[in-house]
Amino acid sequence: MEILKPAMAGTLESSDAQVTVEPGNGKIELSLESSVMNQYGRQIRQTVLETLDRLGVTSANVTMVDKGALDCTIKARVECAVMRSCGKSEASIPWGGMIK
Amino acid sequence: MSYSLETISPLDRRSNAQMDELLKAEGIRRDGHLDYSCGLFDDDGKLVATGSSYGNTLRCLAVSSSHRGEGLMNQVVSHLSERLLNNGYFHQFLYTKEKNYRIFADLGFYEIARIEGQLVFMENRKGGFERFLSSLGDVKKDSACIVMNANPFTLGHRYLIKKAASENSFVHLFLLSEEAGPIPFAVRKKLVLEGIKDLENVIFHESGPYMISSATFPSYFLADEDTAINAHAILDLKIFSKIASHLDIHSRYAGSEKTSHVTGLYNSVMASELPKYGIRFVEVERLSKEGETVSASTVRQAIHDDKLPEVINMLPESTARFFQSSEAESVIRAIKAMKDPRHY
């Protein structure tokens, strides 16, 4: 999926994460800030990258400010931001396909 | 206790009074220019947290001291940054008191510059400022700097640039990239580039959001109290000092200013602040033509009054040609529509 415009999903509230995606230049750049960076930084990063990979995103600047979100929340926020950024959130979200 | 997040309309006197009270209690000056405000209200309709924005900056952020530690600022900032993003502002800025720096660092904001004991200026991009610095290109030895609005480019601007270019090996010329006046950035840039074509040691840059922008220096664009202008100017120069040390700039040139209040004040702050960073401030007496000082505001006034021929001797050939061409129609219309074309 191609990131067409910047988009955001999620909030900065506790147990949530705020994800911003912007068009990139050929690769995934992830800037991560987390309140549990030392404990789960690597796990969070991996979850974000896996989700992007599943969505077929290969070029994006991703900023994530995590406030202790669970993996399922992180996935959902990343998916939502990506769908918004390519204009799919209004009509054609691939439920059961890329979004599992 | 649950809170509801509501927009505070400028017409809502009761909520605005509460907002004023909260800001005052937290020692924050209410910004004169806000284009959006919101607040968190408790079950009794009492305001417990507030935040506002203007353009791409978050402002007047405060949480009532009796509600600290409840994550209320997170809600306010989430709401504001999402709203700004939906309005097309992806790169966002804020100022905060130095002691509250940590709160915003945890919300994904990164420090650009700080004035010790006072405030910290932040952005939502990690390494955004560093990327701006590296986009400025090669570092040149013995270079000076000029920052100008060129609204529009006159012989006065050219005189200043030429003087700096003759006294230094290189001149970094920054053109304000913010759209603020009646003349669009693209036009100002075109006229500057044409006007300096023959000056080989002048390096052109766009100022971006880090120099005299509505983020660093809001009062440059909109009237405000002198104390605010001073504070903004000091912050702007602090950021400039970082740009200067990156580019090895040792002098900054500016034209003397008699008419514009804010520019005059900015010059005087430059004279006192720049030497602290080891930068020489050179104020150049303005160019005069037939007894009249050349200034862009005089030119705008003349265009406004349909008297372009009277100021044609203040303009380089390229600018004069532009304003006589059909291309300039929309710009001239915009200048004529201004109530006070001299202002700022």
Residue B40 with chain A: CB contacts under 8 Å: none
So what's the architecture of B4-126 in CATH?
Answer: 3-Layer(aba) Sandwich (3.40)
Is residue A93 a part of any domain in this protein? no
CB contact under 8 A, B85 and A6: yes
Cα atoms in the Cβ-side hemisphere of radius 13 Å centred on B329:
2
State the span(s) of chain B assigned CATH 3.40.630.30: 4-126
- The H or E element that residue A18 is part of is strand A17-23
What are the strands of the beta sheet with A28-34, ordered from one edge? A7-9, A17-23, A60-66, A28-34
How many domains does one find in chain A?
1
CB pairs under 8 A between A and B: 42
Tell me which of A21, A33, A44 to substitute to probe the interface with B (most B C-beta atoms closer than 10 Å): A33
Helix (H), strand (E) counts: chain B: 13, 14
CB contact under 8 A, A65 and B125: no
- What is the spatial distance between Cα B62 and Cα B51, in angstroms, rounded to a whole number? 6
User: Mean pLDDT, 10 residues at a time, over chain A (100 residues)?
Assistant: 92 94 94 94 97 95 96 96 86 77
Residue B90 with chain A: CB contacts under 8 Å: 6, 20, 22
| Dihedral angle of Cα B228, B130, B245, B227, to the nearest 10 degrees | 0
Angle at B317 between CA B257 and CA B260, to 5 degrees: 15
Handedness of CA B196, B199, B202, B204 (dihedral sign): positive
Is residue A21 a part of any domain in this protein? yes
Give the pLDDT score at B116.
87
- The H or E element that residue B191 is part of is helix B185-195
Give the SS3 label for residue B252. strand
* Choices 3.40.50.620, 3.40.50.280, 3.40.1370.10, 3.40.50.720: CATH for B133-336: 3.40.50.620
Percent of chain B exceeding pLDDT 70 equals: 99
Tens of pLDDT along B149-186? 999 999 999 999 999 999 999 999 999 998 878 899 99
Tokens of B204: 């052109």
Tokens of A20: 């911003």
List the CATH number of the domain containing A56. 3.30.230.10
Give the pLDDT score at B343.
67
State the span(s) of chain B assigned CATH 3.40.50.620: 133-336
- What is the spatial distance between Cα A39 and Cα B190, in angstroms, rounded to a whole number? 53
Is residue A2 a part of any domain in this protein? no
Contact A88, A56 (CB under 8 A): no
Range of the domain at A16: 7-85
For residue B184, the one-letter residue type is P
Tens of pLDDT along B286-306? 999 888 889 998 999 999 999
Tens of pLDDT along B89-147? 999 999 899 999 999 999 999 999 998 888 899 999 999 999 999 999 888 888 999 99
Tell me which of A65, A67, A80 to substitute to probe the interface with B (most B C-beta atoms closer than 10 Å): A65
Residue of A nearest to B75 (CA): A13
Tens of pLDDT along B199-218? 999 999 999 999 998 888 88
